[in-house]
Amino acid sequence: MNQEKSREAFNRAAKVIPGGVNSPVRAFKSVGINPVVIDYAKGTTITDIDGNQYIDFVSSWGPLILGHANESILEAIRETAVKGTSFGAPTILETEMAELIVQMVPSVDKVRMVNSGTEATMSVLRLARGYTKKDLVIKFTGNYHGHADSFLIKAGSGAITLGLPDSPGVTKATAKDTLLADYNELDSVELLLKKHQGEVAAIIVEPVAGNMGVVPPEKGFLEGLRKLADNYGALLIFDEVITGFRLAKGGAQEYYGVHPDLTTLGKIIGGGLPVGAYGGKAEIMDLLAPDGPVYQAGTLSGNPLAMAAGLAMLKALNETPGFYEALESKAARLENGLRENLEKTATPGVVNRVGSLLTLFFTQKEQVTSYDEAMASDTEKFANYFRHSLENGIYLAPSQFEAMFVSYAHTDEDIDKCIAASLEAMQKI
């Protein structure tokens, strides 16, 4: 595959953009090659600037659940754009969007729009602290909540002690307010709540971990978090930036039947434009300015183009009969195919899937249910697999610790091509 133009374009970018990219993982560093530079995309096919085509399983890291350049979304953007692209004043579109979110997401009575998932989680934490008048937050090692300081904290071995900054630039003062627990380990959460009784504002969790590869919540984990939060007077926050509108109309909280106090949304909600949102119980949301004292604002928040695109997206999900059933069967087909490939080639591995989120871990482990098990994966093998897949026209996220995002636009043929390419790749690695 000739990727000469991509190479040149990336080298040119690297002179003026740090690392050549505006978000780090796009640089393909962990898979040891240069990224391909995209020209255009339609449906499930993306075309790079050398004219190579790939079947896309990244879906812009989640947002494009209807595939690329979906007609109804494009039409909504076109219609809205000619009326002006930003007013910094209320529009009906924002209310329609909020009404639809409140209707779809079970625990959300009121919602505030922002411009990214990062902004949503950063703002929701301030609100949780303002409401509870407590400072500490519990997050899970390996969960990702965007790049705000409070969340850029993972664990070393001391997950139950106070966090250390993971990135230079995060101050010790900030890091000490973030406590780390182990995903799928309720005991680790209770230990922290006991030790810091009366000080924990919130527990924030990805209801399905999607940023250490897909790791589903074990039976009783989310229910247990709900109980612990109630018992210790902390709020429960579901970060549904990935799972929202993906696992069900009402996200993971509908899928698992566990309702958080506050929810963050992003990715799908913008229909491919930059949008995030956070919402929850009216009693808590009413603390936001201008009704309450907790300040949060945004010049371009609720931007009409973004609202039009998001609204078109959510309407399609809401109104297409059998949408989530279809998505489930496409993803199950992929899961089964990948499992069979592992068997056929005697490759050690685990396939984790929840709905249309899926990760193939190259690992000797029997299962991947925790951060440590995820981290035991063979990233070298993944990098090889990734490069062969790309050569075979399959575009995957360039990391072992990300999800494959199946979209409604993926046909059985797309999926079968992916399975065939995967088999070939597995035979070579």
Binding site for ligand PLP (CB under 6 A): 116-118, 121, 144-146, 206, 210-211, 239, 241-242, 266, 276
Q: How far is the CB of 92 from ligand PLP (least distance, A)?
A: 25
CB of residue 146 vs ligand PLP: minimum separation in angstroms?
4
CB-wise, 131 or 144, nearer to ligand PLP? 144
Q: Which residue is nearest to ligand PLP (CB)?
A: 117
Q: Distance between CA atoms of 51 and 10, rounded to whole angstroms?
A: 16
Q: Which of 178, 206, 354 is nearest to 267 (CA)?
A: 206
- Taking the least distance from each CB to ligand PLP, the nearer of 116 and 345 is 116
Active site residue 372: no
CB of 119 vs ligand PLP, minimal distance in Å: 7
Residue among 143, 172, 141 nearest 159 (CA)? 141
Nearer to ligand PLP, 94 or 239 (CB): 239
Nearest-approach distance from CB 310 to ligand PLP, in angstroms: 13
Please tell me which residue in 239, 261, 378, 414 is annotated as part of the active site: 239
Contact indicator for 36, 52 with CB cutoff of 8 Å: yes
Which one, 237 or 308, has the nearer CB to ligand PLP? 237
Closest distance of CB 113 from ligand PLP, Å: 13
Active site residue 267: yes
Nearer residue to ligand PLP within complex by CB, 130 or 146: 146
Long-range CB contacts (< 8 A, 24+ apart) of 20-27? 25/397, 25/398, 25/399, 25/402, 26/398
Please pick, among 110, 139, 249, 267, the residue that the annotation labels catalytic. 267
Judging by DSSP bridges, how do beta strands 357-361 and 350-354 pair with one another? antiparallel
Residue 118 or 422 having the CB closest to ligand PLP: 118
The label of the residue with tokens 């190479």 reads 7
CA–centroid distance for 348 within its chain: 27
We find the least distance from the C-beta atom of residue 85 to ligand PLP, in angstroms, to be: 20
Tell me which H or E stretch contains 386. Answer: helix 379-391
State the distance between the two ends of the chain, measured CA to CA, in whole angstroms: 19
Asked if 213 and 400 touch (Cβ cutoff 8 Å), the reply is yes
CA 349/CA 100 separation, integer angstroms: 40
Token pair belonging to 146: 């965007």
> Whose Cβ is closer to ligand PLP: residue 232's or residue 255's?
255
In the complex, the smallest distance separating the C-beta of residue 80 from ligand PLP, rounded to whole angstroms, is: 21
Of the candidates 222, 235, 269, 229, the residue with the CA atom closest to the CA atom of residue 119: 269
Q: Residue 280: CB partners within 8 Å, gap ≥ 6?
A: 107, 108, 109, 110, 260, 261, 262, 263
Residue 29 annotated in active site? no
Helix, strand, coil shares of the chain, percent, nearest 5, are 40, 15, 40
The DSSP secondary-structure symbol of 256 reads H
Q: Which of 54, 131, 144, 385 is catalytic?
A: 144
Helices (H) and strands (E) in the chain, counts: 14, 14
Following DSSP, what letter does each residue of 166-195 receive, concatenated?
Answer: SSTTS-HHHHTTEEEE-TT-HHHHHHHHHH
> Could you list the active site residues?
144, 239, 267
